[in-house]
Amino acid sequence: MHLLNIMTWELVLCTSSVTDATNYKDCGSANAFALSVEITPCNSDPCVLVTGEPVTVDIMFTATEDIRGGSASMQVVNGNVIRWLPPPNKTLCECLNPSCPIEEGGTHVYRHTLEIIDNIPSHEPEIRLELLNEQKSVFFCIQFPVQINAF
């Protein structure tokens, strides 16, 4: 009976921390494809992000060729207006689990935590994330809708 109680509590604790996957679209990936995108915190679709608050983006993807390393960029896209978000303070490899090299057919999770900056256009923006190889060519690109509220 004691074991059953422990297993029940583990199940409750594990499922209470599950985040719903975020809807996304590919925006020109050349050598990888997304398996899932999760934004934390996110309790709606689209995710409501608050200016000045931290947001964590977890992207699970599979590469279709070997990639040794590179960098990442994030932008807020609103129609023809693009606003660059501050780049990660880490290299691409430092944001990956497992780390580099990225192996063909391997599954990796890219994780980046950032703070939503002021002056972002608030009419139906989307966030675009690009992963670049060592030659600065985009090998992975996804875009997902968000709603941004001022703090």
Give yes or no for a contact between 83 and 123, defined as CB atoms under 8 angstroms apart.
no
**Class of the CATH-defined domain 20-149:** mainly beta
- What pTM does this model have? 0.81
Which pLDDT value is given to residue 122?
A: 64
State what percent of residues in the chain have pLDDT above 90. Answer: 58
pLDDT at 129 over 80: yes
Containing 113, the helix (H) or strand (E) segment is strand 107-115
pLDDT tens-digit series, residues 70-99: 999 999 898 888 888 877 788 899 999 999
**Under DSSP, is residue 8 helix (H, G, I), strand (E, B) or coil?**
helix
Joined together, the tokens standing for residue 94 give: 């430092």
Percentage of the chain beyond pLDDT 70 is: 83
Average pLDDT (50-69) is 94
The mean pLDDT of 39-60, rounded to a whole number, is: 92
Whether the Cβ atoms of residue 59 and residue 37 lie closer than 8 Å to each other = yes
d(CA 92, CA 81): 26
Tokens 């941004």 -> residue: 148
pLDDT at 86: 79
**Over 50: is that where the pLDDT of 58 sits?**
yes
Where along the chain do its domains lie?
20-149
Residue 36 has pLDDT above 90, yes or no: yes
Measured distance CA(89)–CA(39) in Å, rounded: 19
